[in-house]
Structure 1
Amino acid sequence: MKSTIYHEPDLFPTLHYQQCLAISLFVYYSIYQKKISKTAVIHHNHALKPLIRHEGHTALELSYARRKDSVHTNLYYEKILLDNVKNGRMEKLNEVLNYSIVGQAQLGVLSKHNHLRSVQYLMITGIALICRAAIEGGLNEETAFTLSDFYIQKLEDQSSLIDILSLMEEAIYDFTHRVSQAKQNKYSAPITTCIHSIENQLYSEITLNQLSAICHLSPNYLSSLFKKEVGISFSEYIQQQRIEEAKKLLTYTSYPILDIGSLLNFTDQSYFIKVFKKFTGITPKQYRNKDVHQ
């Protein structure tokens, strides 16, 4: 005859750790008539906890890599590549590109179950390194981080190894070219700060007083220093940069011309057209039509 077993899942209530500890201390005192502190118990229990060790796993991984003769990209070539990005050396990139983080050397493995995903992870790491090198080389931080976000998002959309490596190469050339351009104009620290601030605020109001406060210089002194180093006045430089931005919007978007002028803080359309023609020789509409027909 089989015996029937009844399960009582809710027979014992679940207790919080602190409640269990208090009950344990009470039981210990009831038996031994001795008091012990919570701290002593916690320290004792901590000492009894087994350490989680991964030496065996890492040793096996290293052994497996040696058997496969798996060697990561030579760090020497990676350092040269990043140094070329930092110094804007466009002409030197091809010499190291094939042996560095986008070359044909053995790639590391960041995803054992998906080779494409592993390469994407590695290239994303590479973008982060290149971004930092470009900033060290003088590229505007906000520009560098925005580019980094753009290329990382694009990398995640790629579905083939060739596309991933091609995009990575494009990113390297893009960062290096921008660093090279930044190095052509060597300005003093205050003027560099002004230029970076203007780049970051093209869609906002920019005043000389704002920048002079950032640079800790008087507006008059900053204005004369800006014209001396850059060659044009503060206000004219802002106009110039906004027109460059307008050209990009006219080329790559379908925004109405009126909206572009408004976005870039031009007071009205006629003034926007006047300033645009001053720097380009043609109207915004002519510029957009010219770009469409090319």
Structure 2
Amino acid sequence: MKNSLIKEKLKNLDIHYKHPSYALECKLLKEIRQGYFSSAAHTLKEINALEKPILARDSIRSTKNSLIGSCTLFTRAVIEAGVNSEDAFDLSDVFIKHIESLDKKEDLIAFEYEMLETCIKLIQNAVIFNYPFPISKVAKHIYENATSKITVSTLAELTHLSPDYLSKLFYKEVGMSITDYIQKQKVEVAKNFLEFSQMKVTDIATLLEFCNPGYFSNVFKNHTGMSPALYRKSTSIDT
């Protein structure tokens, strides 16, 4: 058994196969947990652009094995995001059965992105937007527009409520003010840029519509307990 494993490893080296970096995998899992489909799909595309390992003699079987591995990772991220574990495992079972029913490589490749989207929608519906209307509408708008300028007034117009009434209702349901919630979502987006990009702190502040880098740093520190620069240093991964 040991010798056969060594031979398979050497075979992968011969075809110049290299596993995706740990940083890329961490980035993907974090984006799934946070419910960011567009960025998660982009990261998955980056991973899939790399040379694939040979996981079986038959190419279709190899692709299926790879997707089952992805299914396992996605399921773990869903559970870590706060979704009931039984619901997550039930969904995983459905995914694996469907993977086994597919016979074309292009269908298998497409299904990996379907799994990703379904998992993220499950997280969004069960955890992120699990508030009564109209608070769910407000939370979703903030979540999907974190890089835009968002004010209580614009949210009030969106829900056809007065700013004062909406603010009181939001605090009652969510447990924090609308302003704090907006800042929290912007900080979560900023964390991704700090961890997985080389973007300057000043540029991140501008992208997230903060009036100046100093204010952004203060908000970031209030929510994380550390400055953006220190956060980047503490989460850096040697790839």
C-alpha contact (below 8 Å) 1:90/1:173 kept by paired residues: no
Q: 2:138 aligns to what SS in structure 1?
A: helix
Give yes or no for the alignment of 1:269 onto 2:213. Answer: yes
User: Counterparts of 1:147-226 in structure 2 under 5 Å?
Assistant: 168=112, 172=115, 175-176=118-119, 178-180=121-123, 182-184=125-127, 186-226=130-170
C-alpha contact (below 8 Å) 2:148/2:209 kept by paired residues: yes
Matches of 1:106 and 1:273, distance apart in 2? 49
Give yes or no for the alignment of 1:232 onto 2:176. Answer: yes
Amino acid at match of 2:205: G
User: Counterparts of 1:1-294 in structure 2 under 5 Å?
Assistant: 89-100=87-98, 102-103=99-100, 105=101, 107=103, 118-121=104-107, 123-124=109-110, 126=111, 168=112, 172=115, 175-176=118-119, 178-180=121-123, 182-184=125-127, 186-293=130-237
Aligned residues: 155
Amino acid at match of 2:123: S
C-alpha contact (below 8 Å) 2:210/2:216 kept by paired residues: yes
Q: What's the offset of the Cα at 1:221?
A: 0.9
C-alpha contact (below 8 Å) 1:90/1:180 kept by paired residues: no
Query: CA 1:200–1:173 in 2, change beyond 3 Å: closer, same or farther?
Result: closer
- TM-score w.r.t. the length of structure 1 is 0.48
Q: What's the offset of the Cα at 1:234?
A: 0.4
CA offset digits 1:112-138 (Å, max 9, x no partner): xxxxxx5314643x4xxxxxxxxxxxx
Matches of 2:117 and 2:233, distance apart in 1? 27
Task: Tell me what 1:19 maps to.
Answer: none
Matches of 1:205 and 1:180, distance apart in 2? 25
C-alpha contact (below 8 Å) 1:251/1:291 kept by paired residues: yes
Matches of 2:117 and 2:193, distance apart in 1? 19
Q: What's the offset of the Cα at 1:181?
A: 5.1
Matches of 2:214 and 2:145, distance apart in 1? 22
Task: Tell me what 2:20 maps to.
Answer: none
Amino acid at match of 1:212: A
Report which of the two has the higher share of helix: 2
Amino acid at match of 1:249: F
Q: Show structure 2 runs of 5+ residues with no match.
A: 1-74
Percent of aligned positions with the same letter in both sequences?
32
Q: 2:209 aligns to what SS in structure 1?
A: coil
Which one is further off, 189-198 or 170-179? 170-179
Moved over 4 A (4+): none
Q: If you compute each CA radius of gyration, which structure gives the higher value, 1 or 2?
A: 1
Matches of 1:197 and 1:94, distance apart in 2? 29
CA offset digits 1:146-169 (Å, max 9, x no partner): xxxxxxxxxxxxxxxxxxxxxx1x
C-alpha contact (below 8 Å) 2:102/2:108 kept by paired residues: no
Q: Show structure 1 runs of 5+ residues with no match.
A: 1-83, 108-117, 127-167
- TM-score w.r.t. the length of structure 2 is 0.58
Query: CA 1:221–1:97 in 2, change beyond 3 Å: closer, same or farther?
Result: same
Q: 2:236 aligns to what SS in structure 1?
A: helix
Q: 1:189 aligns to what SS in structure 2?
A: coil
